[in-house]
């Protein structure tokens, strides 16, 4: 299991890319696997909100949570 500070660093890099584009030290840091994990974290935020509780990783439902809205 990765260290908490490494997870924090990955999430911080993901947020920097999302809100500021790929600039400086962040550019080119994320592999496709890390990008997929970041996307899963984003989807988990939606899934947790819609379910009203916690979700576990890996997500059991692989479709985007907003796709299941009526």
Model confidence at 57, in pLDDT bands (50, 70, 90)? confident
Model confidence at 56, in pLDDT bands (50, 70, 90)? confident
Contact call for residues 55 and 44 (beta carbons, < 8 A):
yes
Contact call for residues 57 and 44 (beta carbons, < 8 A):
yes
pLDDT on residue 52 = 92
Model confidence at 22, in pLDDT bands (50, 70, 90)? low
Whole-angstrom distance, CA of residue 37 vs CA of residue 40 = 5
Q: For all residues of the chain together, what is the average pLDDT? A: 75
What is the tens place of the pLDDT at every residue in 9-21? 777 777 777 776 6
Three-state SS at 47: helix
Whole-angstrom distance, CA of residue 38 vs CA of residue 32 = 10
Listed residue (22, 1, 2) closest to 10, CA to CA: 2
């Amino acid at each position: 299991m990765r260290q908490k500070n490494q997870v924090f660093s990955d999430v911080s890099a993901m947020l920097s890319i999302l809100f500021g584009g790929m600039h400086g030290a962040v550019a080119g840091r994320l592999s496709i696997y890390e990008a997929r994990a970041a996307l899963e974290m984003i989807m988990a935020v939606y899934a947790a909100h819609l379910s009203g509780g916690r979700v576990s990783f890996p997500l059991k439902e692989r479709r985007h949570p907003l796709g299941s809205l009526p």
